[in-house]
Amino acid sequence: MALKHGIYILSLSLSLILVGPTLIWAAPGDSALIKSRQDKLRDLGGAFKAIDDELKKRNPDWDNIILPNAQTVQSRSSYLLTWFPKGSGPESRVKTYALPAIWQKADDFNKLGKTMQSEAAKLSQVAAIRDPASLKAQTIALGKTCKACHDPYRSPDYEKENDE
């Protein structure tokens, strides 16, 4: 009886060792975390695009378009570096455009993320002044910061699949 019980425990343990990592990789929490990250990044990008588009108009709508979207860019970017915990990349087996380089070159990614946060704060400050030329210059600076991160850390498949 003890031998039979021991074989059962050994068999169960071996099954958990072989199957366990798969269960962890495909955990529902990973899907929710990645979807949340993607939604927040889309919000951030959409807010930035709304500002850029509004600045092309003769009379930009500061109160309803520019100022609230500048605040969205700043607030979203302040959490940017918390959206990429280890295990939330391609190894999660959830579709993500985040490249493994995010975690392999974490120091550089974090540096770029902090630059993004700084440029987003400047965008919000410049928007409050309501000077179109200054805001256009800051959107260019912020856009360069976004590109500096997208190029090495986001899959080129994103552009192919998302009309960017």
Q: What is the domain-level CATH number for residue 86? A: 1.20.120.10
Has residue 23 been placed in a domain? no
The position carrying tokens 């960017």 is 164
Q: Other CB atoms closer than 10 Å to residue 146's CB: what's the count?
A: 18
Q: What is the pLDDT of residue 135?
A: 98
Q: What is the pLDDT of residue 30?
A: 79
Render pLDDT for 13-35 as a digit per residue (tens, 0 to 9).
433 333 334 333 445 567 899 99
| pLDDT (mean) for 48-57 | 97
Has residue 22 been placed in a domain? no
Supply angle C-alpha 143, 161, 107, rounded to 5. 45
Has residue 36 been placed in a domain? yes
Q: Other CB atoms closer than 10 Å to residue 151's CB: what's the count?
A: 9
Has residue 17 been placed in a domain? no
Q: Give the burial string for 99-119 (b: 16+ CB within 10 Å, else e).
A: beebbeeeeebeebbebbbeb
Q: How far apart are CA 164 and CA 162, in angstroms?
A: 6
Has residue 41 been placed in a domain? yes
pLDDT at 2 over 70: no
Please give the structure tokens belonging to residue 55: 């600045």
CA 78 to chain centre: 11
Number of domains in the chain: 1
DSSP 133: H
SS3 154: strand
Give the domain extent around 144.
Answer: 28-162
Has residue 122 been placed in a domain? yes
Has residue 141 been placed in a domain? yes
163 pLDDT band (50/70/90 cuts)? low
pLDDT at 6 over 50: no
160 pLDDT band (50/70/90 cuts)? confident
Has residue 108 been placed in a domain? yes
